[in-house]
Amino acid sequence: RILILDFGSQTTQLIARRVREAGVYCELYSYDTPVEEIRKFAPRGIILSGGPESVTEAETPRAPQEIFDMKIPILGICYGQQTMTAQLGGTVEAGDKREFGYARVRMHGHSKLFHDLRDEQEDSGAEWLHVWMSHGDRVTRLPAGFKVIAETPTAPFAGIADEARGFYGIQFHPEVTHTTQGRSILQRFVHDICGCGSLWTPGHIIESMVQSVRAQVGQDEVILGLSGGVDSSVVAALLHRAIGKQLTCIFVDNGLLRLNEGDQVMETFARHMGVKVIRVDAQDRFLSALKGVADPEKKRKIIGGMFIEIFEEEAARIKNARWLAQGTIYPDVIESAAAKTKKAHVIKSHHNVGGLPEKMNIKLLEPLRELFKDEVRRIGEELGLPHQMIYRHPFPGPGLGVRILGEVKKEYADLLRKADAIYLEELYRHNLYEKISQAFAVFLPVKSVAVLGDARAYDYVVALRAVETVDFMTANWAHIPYEVLGIISNRIINEVRGISRVVYDISGKPPATIEWE
């Protein structure tokens, strides 16, 4: 296992994902983690991430000095390289400005880190890598024992190493895809230099999670709120494999789900896999609680509150339930840890059952809390969940409740469900669904004029939203081909009586949020 000490770079999570993709388990700790905790984690190697600070200022973040005496390899990336240099007695000087950009670095001699890697080779024998460089502060004098393994005209110490101790520093970012050989460089470090094997594979992950879940819960009963989303679905499949009938899932149909969603969840889990699922039909309760409410945040509160109320009622009927399982994943854990130390982080309260454990005197079981989303998907596939379910776009907890603008009515939800299903069906049919990050229809409770035969009619409007995004914090509207939009619009207008106009949302986030409410 590898430990990554986080100095706050935007791309630290990417380092972790690349290391895991190389089949090696790793975790992210804050740079100021006490050394005892690091020793307890017992890493085979440490990676120091990049960060926004400058080593040349007083009181800048430093790695615990003791890690350099732990006799394990260390790789410093960007800021990590600089702090390693400074902490080992070298010199770092301030550059004028921090820049992030493409560069060609020339390798020197042979190093284990770049062994057999190159993007270009000249007749003279010179070998080059294409990398994404961070210019800013730079190393100007090496600590004792170090030599240069890569340079550029502006960065004579772009790569440095003390191979006897297994210390490496690079000024560029191997975790971003612009560094062509980046993935291989990280593999060289974790496999060849640290000596870690490729054990972190979906099969192994499942096996070790099954063992630890069994050890944790013993003979106790476990309950899980199953939503049909990726994370809770994977938890259900995993727990079913681990503890079978000790698991009871509660699926609440709030009347704000997509077309046939409830049936599909029952089909996949109850029928195919034999998971115990209680389906609660609570449409009327949700709809009557929402009557007359138009404010989005009020709607969210009502839907969330009602969910908890119903979930508690159902859970109370399950005798001996000692554990509440949740689909918390590693980015959620990192985000909440970051929010504790940094103040500016906004957190979505996407776990609808927050607050329940204390009230119900029940313990939390979070088997996915060490996994990234792509790992969750891979083990979901390995567990036999349908591909479509695993690669589904995110769907908000309040569901269609925030996609029907203003007051929610059953009539609106029924119209929207039909329009949305046609939209998604055509995206799948044209192979666009998985290229888009999130797509859905929005119901606008306004009527516009339609000419039906000779008569005028006043029917509702539906807006189509589709975005491309990496982190859902910013997003671009997706450029769906006009022909496909035409087909979707025709079908909705022809097949959904009550909707006579379809519009396409071409707003980016910011400022327009992905959901309309």
- Annotated binding-site residue? 486: no
- Annotated binding-site residue? 184: no
Q: Residue 165 corresponds to which tokens in the numbers above?
A: 């101790």
Catalytic residue, chosen from 26, 108, 135, 175, is 175
What is the number of helices (H) and of strands (E) in the chain? 15, 21
Smallest gap from residue 509 Cβ to ligand XMP (A)? 5
The answer for 399, left when phi > 0, alpha when psi is -120 to 50, beta otherwise, is left
Please report whether residue 211 would count as binding ligand XMP according to CB under 6 A: no
Please report whether residue 300 would count as binding ligand XMP according to CB under 6 A: yes
Show contacts of 347-353: CB within 8 Å, 24+ apart. 349/304, 350/397, 351/326, 351/327, 352/225, 352/227, 352/304, 352/307, 352/308, 352/311, 352/397, 353/225, 353/307, 353/308, 353/311, 353/324, 353/326
SS3 label, residue 301: helix
From the list 22-30, 259-267, 392-400, 491-499, the region that binds ligand XMP by CB under 6 A is 392-400
Smallest gap from residue 365 Cβ to ligand XMP (A)? 20
Please report whether residue 509 would count as binding ligand XMP according to CB under 6 A: yes
Smallest gap from residue 438 Cβ to ligand XMP (A)? 5
* Interacting positions 335-374 with ligand XMP (CB under 6 A): 348, 350
x/- track of binding to ligand XMP for residues 38-77 (CB under 6 A) = ----------------------------------------
Please report whether residue 513 would count as binding ligand XMP according to CB under 6 A: yes
Neighbours of 389 (CB within 10 A): 20
- Annotated binding-site residue? 229: yes
249 catalytic per annotation: no
Please report whether residue 396 would count as binding ligand XMP according to CB under 6 A: yes
From the list 87-95, 129-137, 377-385, 509-517, the region that binds ligand XMP by CB under 6 A is 509-517
Please report whether residue 398 would count as binding ligand XMP according to CB under 6 A: yes
- First vs last Cα of the chain: how many Å apart? 43
CA–CA separation, 336 vs 345, rounded Å?
9
Please report whether residue 401 would count as binding ligand XMP according to CB under 6 A: no
Smallest gap from residue 499 Cβ to ligand XMP (A)? 22
Smallest gap from residue 410 Cβ to ligand XMP (A)? 21
From the list 215-223, 306-314, 379-387, 395-403, the region that binds ligand XMP by CB under 6 A is 395-403
Please report whether residue 397 would count as binding ligand XMP according to CB under 6 A: yes
Interface pick for ligand XMP out of 68, 100, 128, 472 (rule CB under 6 A): 472
**Backbone phi, psi, residue 384, to 5°:** 90, 15
CA dihedral 297, 348, 50, 96 (to 10 degrees): 0
Q: Residue 82 corresponds to which tokens in the numbers above?
A: 């600089």
Beta strands in 288-371 (DSSP E): 321-325, 363-365
Q: Residue 461 corresponds to which tokens in the numbers above?
A: 């409007």
Cβ–Cβ < 8 Å for 127, 168: no
- Annotated binding-site residue? 30: no
Which of 276, 236, 281 lies closest to 261 in space, CA to CA?
A: 281
173 catalytic per annotation: yes
- Annotated binding-site residue? 232: yes
Please report whether residue 438 would count as binding ligand XMP according to CB under 6 A: yes
**Backbone phi, psi, residue 365, to 5°:** -120, 115
Smallest gap from residue 17 Cβ to ligand XMP (A)? 20
Query: Which residues are known binding-site members?
Result: 227-233
Catalytic residue numbers? 78, 173, 175
Binding-site residues for ATP sit at: 227-233
Q: Which residues bind ligand XMP (CB under 6 A)?
A: 300, 348, 350, 394, 396-398, 438, 472, 509, 513-515
